[in-house]
Amino acid sequence: MIQAWVRNERQERLYRKASVIAEEARSHAVESDRNAEFSYKTLQVMKEEKYPSLSLPVQHGGESLSLYEFLLLQEKIAEGDGAAALSIGWHLGIMMELSQERLWSKDNFLKLAKEVAENQAVVNRAASEAATGSPTRGGIPETKAVKKDDGYIVSGRKTFTSMAESLDYYIVSAFVEDINEVGWFLIDRHQPGVKVEKTWDTLGMRGTASDDLVLEDVEVNEEDLVEVKGKGKPIPKGWLLHIPACYLGIATAARNLAIQFAKEFQPNSLDTPISEVGHIQDKIGEMEWKLLQAHSFLYTTARKWDEEPEMRGKMGAELASVKLAVTNTANDVVDLAMRIAGGRGLSRKYPFEKLYRDVRAGLHNPPMDDAVLRMLAGNALDENF
């Protein structure tokens, strides 16, 4: 289904890379889910395919991925394993954000870009904390950065750090006391005082291994303060559509499995497989139109982002709506697939139950449904008729 959205030879070449990664991720998905670990073998294949550097500009060793291409590849990987796709999606999105929005100094960006291009280094932001919840809600981090000589001492604990043990660098938010602002520090995985505690024990998306990052008096240089939180109205971030793309990939995987199951399963009470039963065909048809709508909304919005850059500043509500619509639709599709599989869908012998658990996590990724609905309502109420 997703391949129908591949539009040219370049995208076909990139799509093949994602397909290789998807197959590798699928082969480790059960083990990653059981152990709540990110597969190092999947990460190795990602690096062999030079996937971490794809969203860098060409002049810095990447492929200058468009948003449309980024989502296409992420959705394909998610068909293999949603947890693997969501995890690496944060890295690619962040590199896209840093290169396009120029949030860092040129020297700091080029230093990280070189590591990514030459060594396929992987990075993620570490922002969430137990006391503050999602950083999108505006909480001030309890992680502190205290000035010392020509550097800082950073201490704190971060939750929801996807791929925590597999990352090469962390971009850590902290309250910087001497400037009375929230800042971001680039911290090497191997610096003294940096450790990961295995705390990730969730219902779904266990393979993201989003464990706690613990910073105990980590000494950093002044230039490692790479970014200070901006003021004013937030800028819409198209790259965050990797979130709904991931859950759409999970839904597509469930759809494919359900159709295969329906074609092959024939109870002794029937003369044909259940694919010939009316209410099963109704459920398959409902999956199809829901997926068609979700794909159209996601990729049409991505094309608008790519082709009309002058409109990006006005696309905040549209991007948020895509996330809300697509993740909720993905949940609906996986639920329909479970109903087609019946009681067998609850068995760990089949992938259905994992897909069902994983897709639920999309409802808790930002932006949250309530925030999107309030935004849309506010925009509507502000209209002049």
* Tens-digit pLDDT profile for residues 157-170: 999 999 999 999 99
Q: What's the token pair of residue 104?
A: 């860092």
Task: Clarify whether residues 109 and 220 are in a common domain.
Answer: no
Whether residue 137 is predicted with pLDDT greater than 80 in this model: the reply is no
Whether residue 81 is predicted with pLDDT greater than 80 in this model: the reply is yes
Closest CA to 312 of 101, 103, 135: 101
CATH number at residue 170: 2.40.110.10
- What average pLDDT is seen over the chain? 96
Give residue 132's pLDDT: 80
CATH number at residue 313: 1.20.140.10
27 is a domain residue? yes
Final residue belonging to a domain, choices 191, 209, 228:
228
Q: 133 pLDDT band (50/70/90 cuts)?
A: low
The predicted model gives 98-115 an average pLDDT of: 96
Q: What kind and span of H or E run contains 150?
A: none
Residue 62: CB atoms within 10 A of its CB come to 21
CA–CA dist 107, 109 (Å, integer)? 5
3-state secondary structure of 124: strand
Q: 4 pLDDT band (50/70/90 cuts)?
A: confident
Whether residue 385 is predicted with pLDDT greater than 80 in this model: the reply is no
3-state secondary structure of 140: coil
Task: Clarify whether residues 26 and 140 are in a common domain.
Answer: no
Give residue 139's pLDDT: 76
pLDDT in tens, 212-267: 999 999 999 999 999 998 876 788 999 999 999 999 999 999 999 999 999 999 99
Task: Clarify whether residues 343 and 243 are in a common domain.
Answer: yes
Side chain identity at 341, as an amino acid letter? Answer: A
CA–CA dist 276, 173 (Å, integer)? 55
Helices (H), the chain: 9-35, 40-48, 67-80, 82-101, 106-119, 242-264, 278-307, 316-341, 352-360, 369-382
pLDDT in tens, 262-297: 999 999 999 999 999 999 999 999 999 999 999 999
Give residue 230's pLDDT: 80
| 156-195 per-residue burial string, b: 16 or more CB within 10 A, e: under 16 | bbbbbbbbbebbbbbbbbbbbeeeeebbbbbbbbeeeebe
Task: Clarify whether residues 298 and 368 are in a common domain.
Answer: yes
Q: 194 has which bridge partners?
A: 215
Whether residue 301 is predicted with pLDDT greater than 90 in this model: the reply is yes
CA–CA dist 323, 336 (Å, integer)? 20
Final residue belonging to a domain, choices 174, 209, 228:
228
**Total count of domains within the chain:** 3
The predicted model gives 177-185 an average pLDDT of: 96
Residue 338: CB atoms within 10 A of its CB come to 21
Whether residue 362 is predicted with pLDDT greater than 90 in this model: the reply is yes
Structural domain boundaries, residue 330: 238-382
Give residue 234's pLDDT: 81
Task: Clarify whether residues 152 and 87 are in a common domain.
Answer: no
DSSP 238-273: GGGGHHHHHHHHHHHHHHHHHHHHHHH---TT-SS-
CATH number at residue 68: 1.10.540.10
Task: Clarify whether residues 57 and 136 are in a common domain.
Answer: no
